[in-house]
Chains A and B, each alone.
Chain A
Amino acid sequence: MQLDNLNREHMCSGHVGCPGCGAALAMRFLLKALGNKTIMIIPACCWSIIAGPYPQSTLKIPVLHSAFETGGAVASGVRAAHDIKGDTETTVVTWAGDGGTFDIGFQALSGAVERNENFIYVCYDNEAYMNTGVQRSSSTPYGAWTTTTPGQHWKRLRKKNIVEALVAHRIPYAATASIAFPEDLMRKAKKAKDMAGSRFIHIFSSCPTGWGMPSEMSVKIARMAVQTTIFPLYEVEDGLRYTINYTPKGYLVNEYFRLQGRFKHLTEEDLESIQEMVDEDWNLLLRKAGVALETS
Chain B
Amino acid sequence: MRHVLEGSHAVSEAVRLARAQVISAYPITPQTHIVEQLSEYCANGTLNARFLRVESEHSALAALIGAASSGVRTFTATSSQGLALMHELLHWASGARLPIVMAQVNRAMAPGWNIWADQTDSLAQRDTGWVQFYCENGQEVLDTTIQAFRLAEWVNLPVMVNLDAFFLSHTYEPVDVPDQKSVDSFLPPYKPRFQLDLANPCAFNQLAPPNIYMEMRHNIQMAMDEAFTFFEQMEEEFGTILGRRHGAVEAIRCDDAEVILITSGTVTSTSRQVVAKLREKGEKVGLLKIKLFRPFPLNLLRELTKPASKIAVIDRNFSFGASGIFAQEVKAALCNFPGHPPVYGYVAGLGGRDITTEVIEDIYWLTKNSTAPENESSWVGLREVDHAVGQS
Contact = CB atoms under 8 A, between A and B. Distances in A.
Given A77-B22, A80-B52, A110-B55, A63 B203 contact: yes
Given A77-B66, A84-B48, A51 B206 contact: yes
Contacts of B63: 73-74, 76-77, 80
Interface stretch (B136-144, B207-215, B221-229, B379-387): B207-215
Contacts of A52: 203, 206-207
Interface in A42-61: 48-49, 51-54, 57, 59-61
Interface stretch (A64-72, A220-228, A279-287): A64-72
B59 interface: yes
Given A62-B198, A64-B69, A85-B71, A77 B204 contact: no
B53 interface: yes
Interface residues of B, number: 42
A114 interface: yes
B203 A85 contact: no
Nearest to B63: A77
A48 B207 contact: yes
B58 A62 contact: no
Interface residues of A, number: 43
B201 A61 contact: yes
B203 A57 contact: yes
Contacts of A49: 207
Interface stretch (A1-9, A33-41, A197-205, A261-269): A33-41
Nearest to B88: A67
Interface string A68-102: 01101111111111111100001000000000000
B207 A70 contact: no
A111 interface: yes
B49 interface: yes
A142 B282 CA distance: 81
B55 A77 contact: no
Contacts of A82: 70
A23 to B, nearest CB: 16
27 contacts: A39-B70, A52-B203, A52-B206, A54-B206, A54-B207, A54-B208, A54-B212, A63-B206, A64-B196, A64-B205, A65-B203, A66-B62, A67-B92, A74-B63, A74-B66, A76-B63, A77-B52, A77-B63, A77-B68, A81-B22, A81-B66, A81-B67, A81-B69, A81-B70, A81-B74, A83-B50, A107-B56
10 smallest beta-carbon distances between A and B, as pairs: A77-B66, A111-B55, A81-B70, A77-B63, A73-B62, A73-B59, A77-B67, A57-B203, A70-B62, A74-B66
Interface of A: 36-37, 39, 41, 48-49, 51-54, 57, 59-67, 69-70, 72-85, 90, 107-108, 110-111, 114-115
Given A74-B62, A78-B196, A81-B66, 19 more contacts: A36-B201, A39-B198, A52-B207, A54-B206, A54-B207, A54-B208, A57-B202, A60-B201, A64-B69, A64-B196, A70-B59, A70-B65, A76-B66, A77-B24, A77-B69, A78-B66, A80-B22, A85-B70, A85-B72
